[in-house]
Structure 1
């Protein structure tokens, strides 16, 4: 896909391209020049990696800049790229010296091509063929395609894109005239946005190309972006509580803020694409091709107001499969992220067993109260400790810590929470750019809980969650169950520049065993299927992610040998999973999603063929969902998205007193984690459990 959604008919762009409209691209200002030099110095002397801004780096930076401008090879010609080939050897000089004119000239040419193409699209709408009887297909990903060598070659591409855009709207239920009006409004709006480009916009894109060659978490923040970042860090953002990221022409949900409105609502999921945003009582605004910060501004709003989002589910491969959801904006409060617990009852031949489940949405601490010396300040460790005491009073036989979707937070809380389960010792190693390693750990003697323990994780468990899970696994203190974690094993700091800020990767996390959590994450002892595609979400899916590596391990004691029981635990898990409708569904859905992604590399421009392909995919999804529901004795559905929108695929709505039949799919992971932990406690006679009522 391109920056601006599908388009095209066979009208040559030769006249438009020969005399492109001049939009008076701003020149780099003194602020941008100085900021560029400061970014260069930060990368050379402050980044964790050994960054050398030389000719070899210039080649990568030039390519990255082109990828950001025209990643789908839809606007620029090979001759355009050749015209600026000198930048492949001089990007380093441009950034080091603040001489940005050539980089701005490339953006100028790119913007001329975009403007000319939008003018062409608007003109073409008057003669758009709405028959949709072509046998052609549109390639979905042109990231690795060669640059077009002629205007006619791009015309052919855009013929297909326009047909796709119109067909998508037509299948969604719009009449022909309405389709034309919608597309005209879309392209005119996009052209207006292009005309509003300022020097900050160009500089931010250029810096994204510069920093993106180093690693995905190092980035320049303009003054406007810095303000938004500060708001998010304070968790006082009045919005929906979702972290968004650009994904080609679309805006994708990267993760949900624990305790935020979107996470509580349950209808929005990671990997979903947002294609339109509307305010309550107003028309929806199409955001395909819109800048990420502009989309964020549309979604943000006062507490209590409602925002409407048109989304395409992350698992959908056809953009016609959109649905509209509404979310009431709110602020994210500390108490919304607080740990909570419940007791899971596991039935066995010898009776009912009780396993405690503690959900930890984030690693948080009330810094203000802590720094003020208040005795009762809130923190993850304190809240989890309170839940442990409650569960011990309930005489549970083991505790599962649920860190699914926990994206991290305060490192000090991950360290101190590990201390609840071990009697002093190291927890994590941090290596800086100079190779110096700092060791962090728990210094308090004794532990609060020394009984059977399991940690439940998934692909959205990141950073501090991975440090915690990795330490528990290395110590042999408990089992890790679930799916592979995110793989975020780097540390960033935010520094002020003369103009804006830079978020810079300064260090890397390592487990006490010496293994990095970077890129690979933490691999569970017992693996669950995952509906989150690792090709879309996770560190390994990001461009130029720093690699996995190791340092020397540190001395630490072993609390147990869970690995000796893994073969038996996995076999017992496999037997239960084969018979559990929800687990069978998770496995089949994961396999189907992978197969769809691999097979769906192009899309038909023929209405009947497109509809048939979409119906086939929907039938497969529906068959899986209804097979699950039939096995559980639930009412069958007519559309697979009904289960998704009702929250039946989310653990958010599950209550401890619900019957198995009423519980959503994700709750199967909770139940199975409890089953595995019970197996572990019964298999491991060497454990000395000291669960005492207090």
Structure 2
């Protein structure tokens, strides 16, 4: 959760000695460094001091930022730079960023050396029969001792990427990718791809080498274009992220991008992206966007390349996110092809038709679901995010009022139980988390918010009315964060409902404020803008006293989760704030029918063992866990082809394609999907689209084994 705030930092500026109006590089560094140091020490939740201990940790973070894969710096380079390990705090204040200057010179030299090796390597030609292997996990690599060893590493990287490129060309020749695309977009009007040029094995090998060489030529060229300001950003963020991973320095250009993306939307495909080492990683999928509807792009995917329609792909590895989005964005209705590295290590090319985010898709939606085996009518509400119209752009809608309306409508239909689905909901408006929780309880505290001074604010539901008092089940997964965790935790602590899902939720229980560092008369007088600082200032605590930070919410009943094992939670991040407790509040637990959680869990466990869909999820999890451990890969073409074939076969087996006829879905809420303004000439096409969206909605529910088990659980609660 992020707050945009303005603050005058005049007192912080007074520690900087300034002369005249001109600010040279040294004084600008000194200005930024002093402001950041004082802002961190004054406003951050932890109240840490920037000293030698923090400097040592920041040094390690800096090395990760300039050479994430340990594939440029030698061990001797790291030893040479280590003389500054405990001096980053001093350099921050003095403006003399010696670590930055020396590391930049070394990186430029190493990149040029490796680029020269690239030219020689591809001139000689790639061997497709190598018996060597490549370690992909940078955590398992060591800094190498010589240029010879570095060249050997890069020869493995070049060979591996050439083999991957060859197999991709082989797929195109076999027509697999074209068939997949036709299946995906049979109802879409898109520009037809050019016919695949038939190539011999020899021609494909030559083309694979050309594409790989070009890819790395572009990568090295981009890295060499990193200027002094890029390294300043890396230096400053190496310090800030030691406080916690959500505390970051935003230089002026990044601040502009942040202002655009704070709404959670990236025009074109509907995804939020960030840099992760050399890669562009998908942080989240925006509800209502093109990628959200298409369903192939997922959080934690890394985008390796992007192509416009039938055009040649542009490699994104090593590209800054602000440059990458220029290739991904585009006009509505145009096709973009993304080459992805999935969380299990597999590569996949997908096609997305760019579109604006459909506001209606991000609203709460509901249905009535009846399972033939239980016969109970159960209300189902899916909430993709905690939206609230602060600026009057969404007809003044907010999610708590919309959920309220859906509950009223579902009650009129005689539902016996209610499922609130918060899976994939990354949070949003705190006010709506408070109000929504209040729909299910009489009154009382919902969440505690502690700030960096130790002051605790208690957000309460003061409305004695209970909108829904029947059996309640809340669905979560590891992408349920922030406001979602507050609602789930409140229902759990009050004993109001059963929380069901994977092992735990995301675990983000902090609030960030964006401090505008350009405020104050002194800064306005002395020169260029210096950006902003996003700093963690508050932490959420449950009414029972425990934080939602780090640990998240553990469900009462744990079901297999397709995302288990993926390192995407808060506790997977370096220096994430740890779990702690504050005082427990006085509150009255739910006085309705008590929940026998032990009995409910026991019955559920027996069903899970027999569930065809959930057994498939468990098999998939075991297979993916095994693959994630296998970080050392072959660079031999024949062996890689066999591995890829086996993997494709297994992934096809794990796909949940079967529609469950026992789930009868009815009373789809049409009005919530008619939120877009439709021109008269587009209405026919829109009606066809709405029909297709309804079908996708119903079949999506019928293919969900977790939802089916949730219906059984709530059936047990009703009985």
Q: TM-score range by the shorter chain?
A: 0.7 to 0.9
Per the alignment, residue 368 of structure 2 pairs with 343
Q: Is the 8 A contact 1:277 1:310 kept in 2?
A: yes
- Could you tell me which of 501, 509, 529 is aligned with 1:489? 509
- Counterpart of 2:546? 515
Partner of 2:382: 359
Give the Å deviation of 1:236.
Answer: 6.2
Equivalence for 1:670? 707
- Equivalent residue for 2:440? 421
- Identify unmatched segments of 5+ residues in structure 1: 1-26, 634-651, 683-694
1:466 shift after superposition: 0.2
**Deviation for aligned residue 1:31:** 3.6
Q: 1:360 touches 1:403 (CA, 8 Å); kept in 2?
A: yes
Relative to structure 1, is the Cα distance of residues 666 and 113 closer, same or farther in structure 2, using a 3 angstrom cutoff?
farther
1:564 to 1:455, Cα distance in 2 relative to 1, 3 A: closer
Q: Tell me, what secondary structure is at the counterpart of 1:310?
A: strand
1:464 aligned residue (470, 474, 483): 483
Give a deviation string over 1:191-237, Cα, whole Å, max 9, x none: 33234322321222222211222211111112111111111224564
Distance, in Å, in 1 between the alignment partners of 2:697 and 2:349 is 31
2:49 corresponds to which of 31, 34, 52 = 52
Superposition TM-score, scaled by structure 1 size: 0.85
Q: Give the structure 1 partner of residue 631 of structure 2.
A: 601
- Contact 1:250–1:288 (Cα < 8 Å) also in 2: yes
Kindly provide the CA deviation profile for residues 488-507 of structure 1, in whole angstroms up to 9, marking residues without a partner as x: 01110001113111110111
Q: 1:553 aligns with which of 578, 584, 589?
A: 584
Q: 1:122 to 1:187 in 2, by over 3 A?
A: farther
Whole-angstrom distance in 1 between the partners of 2:234 and 2:70: 17
Rate the CA distance shift 1:622–1:233 in 2: closer, same or farther, 3 A: closer
The size of the alignment, in residue pairs, is 622
- Shift of the alpha carbon at 1:653? 6.6
Aligned to 2:252: 223
Map Cα deviations across residues 94-123 of structure 1 (whole Å, 9 max, x no partner).
112322243232122112211221232123
Q: CA deviation at 1:173?
A: 2.2
Partner of 1:528: 559
Contact 1:342–1:656 under 8 Å retained in 2: no
* Secondary structure of the corresponding residue to residue 446 of structure 2: strand
Task: Report the secondary structure of 2:85's partner residue.
Answer: helix
Deviation, structure 1 residue 625: 4.4
Taking the aligned partners of 1:656 and 1:119, their CA distance within structure 2 comes to 52
Structural mapping, 1:76-115, within 5 Å: 76-115=73-112
Structure 2 CA distance for aligned equivalents of residues 567 and 382 of structure 1: 34
Q: Report what 1:13 is aligned to.
A: none
**Are residues 1:619 and 2:616 paired?**
no
1:322 and 2:353 correspond = no
Equivalents in 2 of 1:560, 1:616: separation in Å?
Answer: 54
Rounded Cα–Cα distance in structure 1 between residues aligned with 2:435 and 2:700 = 33
TM-score, with normalisation over the residues of structure 2?
0.82
- 1:18: which partner in 2? none
Q: Does 1:541 align with 2:572?
A: yes
For 1:215 and 1:236, the matched residues in 2 are separated by 24
For structure 2, the residue ranges without an aligned partner over 5 or more in a row are 1-23, 171-203, 519-529, 663-691
Alpha-carbon distance in structure 2 between the residues aligned to 1:62 and 1:663: 47
**CA distance in 2 between partners of 1:126 and 1:573 (Å):** 61
CA distance in 1, matches of 2:241, 2:379: 44
1:643 alignment partner in structure 2: none
- Taking a change above 3 Å as real, the CA distance of residues 563 and 103 of structure 1, as seen in their structure-2 partners, is farther
Q: Deviations over 1:465-509 (max 9, x none)?
A: 000100010011111011221000111000111311111011111
Q: Name the SS for the 1:172 alignment partner.
A: helix
The equivalences for 1:356-505 within 5 A come to 356-369=379-392, 377-483=396-502, 484-498=504-518, 499-505=530-536
Q: Is the 8 A contact 1:257 1:263 kept in 2?
A: yes
Give the Å deviation of 1:606. Answer: 1.8
Deviation at 1:400, TM superposition (A): 0.8
Q: CA deviation at 1:165?
A: 1.5
* Residue-by-residue CA offset, 1:290-328 (whole Å, 9 max, x unaligned): 22332223212344443221223333x34xx42232231
Q: Give the aligned partner of residue 162 of structure 2.
A: 166
User: 1:546: Cα distance to partner?
Assistant: 1.0
Structure 1 residues 630 and 403, CA gap change in structure 2 (3 angstroms): closer
2:125 equivalent to 1:128: yes
